[in-house]
Amino acid sequence: MKYQFPNDFMWGSATSAPQTEGHSLENGKSYSTWDKWFELNPEKFNDNQGPKNTSMMYEYYSEDIEHMKKLGLNSFRTSIAWTRLLPDGKTINQEAVRFYRDYFTKMIKNNIRPIINLFHFDMPWWLMEKGGWENPKSSDWFEFYAKTCFEQFGDIIHDWITFNEPLVHVECSYLNGFHYPAIHDFKKAIAAGYNTLLAHAKAVRTFKKNHYEKDSRIGIILNLTPAYPKSDDKKDKLASRRADLLNIYSFLTPALKGEVNIELINLLKKYNLIDDQNIIYQPEIIKFSEVDFLGINYYQPLRVQAPLTEKKVIKDPTDLYENYIWEDRRVNPYRGWEIYPNAIYDIAKTIDKLTDKPWFISENGMGVANEERFIDNSGIIKDDYRINFMKEHLVQLHKAIDEGVNCIGYHTWTFIDCWSWLNGYKNRYGFYYLDLNNYSRTMKKSGSWFSYLIKNNGFNE
């Protein structure tokens, strides 16, 4: 193979409980913000596709694990639903314990290593009614939930993740309107982000204190979106640095060093964005933020320039930096996202300068609408665009690994087409096509290619 990857490289896919399990208010599960939001405002969801059914892994997981085995996956990331395991935040739902233990055990028996995430945007409604991540006590409730997960599944799960993309549930809930409560308040966003960081730190502290298994480890998954300045002008470079402080180092510095980035704190203080009544810096807790390993989600870069008008009062991140469209960009028209594989190399080299901790690409993928257009006479979706997307990104990742970075795996988003929040099933990402009429799964061409990739631990051009 021209692009050969290290031995024991993790090849897999990622998904989440709320996007796949279905049965959203059955088998003892309580409301999440998504369940309640869909009940209140179904018109906000594409084609009125809510979280009730999704890809129904709750009942199809045994079959799906056979599909994973067919692909050759040696690892798979999913999440536990807080609302399923602890419907009221206090009482264990034994049906959920039974389901998850069987789900994870079947993976292990098929030589698929489960990587289990605790929170994937699915805030319990009972906690949302108490203020959600704005409430400083939210970190204590999360710590209890994390401890429950470790106690119930720590004997079989050895790779734990506290949060998937913590920045996303913060900005989507409190800045851009894509997650409930869909308000716009920069100070509340910062408070919610800080409380999320405390929750992460407390979960790691609990994990380390109890040493559930000697070879177990705990990490966090961050969406790293590197900011590229429009020019070498010092104002554009400053805008790029500020974007990185907010979007990358807000969680990356604590995860690597167990402390909040001082440059970020100074930036927030400069513009009076820290509410001292709701944010009390607690370094004795934050020090536990340091993780054993990292997951990095990458889809698109960020192109920034200095704000055209300098503002003294900052109400939005775009008051600190503005986006621009790079003239040479390629774009996925279905998402409006720039396709820029080189950023994976840049991310890898950045991490390599900061730490020697192991890390992996925990999400990378391409969402396309109306994929039925590409079904051939054999009934297979010919998604060559997805194969080319993966190849381009893997070439850049391979280059970085060849130069010595400690990347231990590559996971795609996703295994089977899944429900995607307000977008429903508008864009498909899976190796398997999901027929929403009967929930049948059919492998796409990309699934065959990924299977070839895993079998050979590499690929040729």
Mean pLDDT computed over every residue of the chain:
95
Above 90 in pLDDT, residue 385? yes
Indicate if the pLDDT at residue 95 is higher than 80: yes
Distance from CA of residue 34 to its chain's centroid?
17
Checking if the pLDDT of 92 tops 80, the result is yes
Residue 3: which H helix or E strand, with range? strand 3-4
Q: What is the pLDDT of residue 461?
A: 81
Say what percent of the chain tops pLDDT 70. 99
Active-site residues, by number, are 165, 363
Model confidence at 137: pLDDT above 90 = yes
Closest CA to 74 of 26, 105, 108, 38: 108
- Residue 294 has a pLDDT of 98
Q: Is the peptide bond before 414 cis (omega within 30 degrees of 0)?
A: yes
Q: How much is the pLDDT for 310?
A: 87
Mean pLDDT of 331-347: 95
Classify residue 131 by burial, with Cβ atoms within 10 Å: 0-12, 13-18, 19+. middle
Ordered domains of the chain (ranges, CATH): 3-459 (3.20.20.80)
pLDDT digits (tens, 9 = 90+) for 409-432: 999 999 999 999 999 999 999 999
269-284 pLDDT, tens per residue?
A: 999 998 766 677 788 9
Identify the band that residue 257 occupies on the pLDDT scale cut at 50, 70 and 90: very high
Over the stretch 152-194, which tens digit does the pLDDT of each residue have?
999 999 999 999 999 999 999 999 999 999 999 999 999 999 9
Structure tokens at 420: 């995607």
Question: Could you tell me where the beta strands, DSSP code E, fall in 258-358?
Answer: 293-297, 302-305, 322-323, 331-332, 337-338
pLDDT at 355: 95
pLDDT range class, residue 24, cuts 50, 70, 90: confident
b/e per residue 261-283 (b: at least 16 CB within 10 A) = beebeebbeeeebbeeebbeeee
Q: How far is CA 237 from CA 234, 309, 460, in A?
A: 5, 16, 38
- Residue 241 has a pLDDT of 97
Question: Do 397 and 360 meet the contact criterion of CB atoms below 8 Å apart?
Answer: no
Compare 335 and 278 and report the one with higher pLDDT. 335
Task: Give burial (CB, 10 Å; 0-12/13-18/19+) of 313.
Answer: exposed
Cβ atoms of 73 and 11 closer than 8 Å: yes
Q: For position 68, what pLDDT does the model report?
A: 97
What pLDDT is stored for residue 280 in this prediction?
A: 73
| Range with the poorest average pLDDT among 196-210, 276-290, 345-359 | 276-290
